[in-house]
Amino acid sequence: MPWKTEEIKDILLSAQGKDTKSVEIKKNKDNVKLEVCCSRYHYSLVVTDKEKAEKQRSPPPG
């Protein structure tokens, strides 16, 4: 069942779950789509700002 989220925190929390099967980053010229496939749900986040997408794609410090 697909879920569209608006916050990056929701995507990161779902990606850390035990039932996560895959994480995909799809880019085109207009936007970046982050998809997390879990056993029960499929989460997606669409980011239209290129600078914000690159910032979220980089790993956190530490």
Mean pLDDT calculated for residue range 35-61? 77
7-32: pLDDT as tens digits: 878 878 888 888 889 989 898 888 88
pTM score of the predicted model: 0.67
DSSP notation for 33-55: EEEEEESS-EEEEEE--HHHHHH
CATH number of 2-57: 3.30.720.90
Residues with Cβ < 8 Å from 39, sequence gap 6 or more?
19, 21
36-59 mean pLDDT:
78
Q: Where are the domains of the chain?
A: 2-57
